[in-house]
Amino acid sequence: MVMSWILNVLVKSIADSVIYTKTARQMWVELEERFGQINGAKLYQVKKEMCNVSQGTNDIATYFTKVKGLWDELDDLDEIPVYTCNSVEKMLKREQN
- The pTM of the whole model exceeds 0.85: no
Pick 19 or 79 by higher pLDDT: 19
pLDDT(19) > 90: no
- pLDDT, tens digit, for every residue of 39-91? 777 888 888 998 999 999 999 999 999 999 998 888 877 666 556 666 677 77
- Give the residue ranges of DSSP H helices in the chain: 2-9, 12-18, 24-35, 40-52, 60-77, 87-96
Q: How far apart are CA 49 and CA 76, in angstroms?
A: 15
Do the beta carbons of residue 53 and residue 70 sit within 8 Å? yes
Q: What is the pLDDT of residue 81?
A: 56
Check pLDDT > 80 for residue 7. yes
Would you tell me how many other CB atoms lie within 10 Å of the CB of residue 83? 10
CB distance 81 to 90 below 8 Å = yes
Contact 72, 49 (CB under 8 A): no
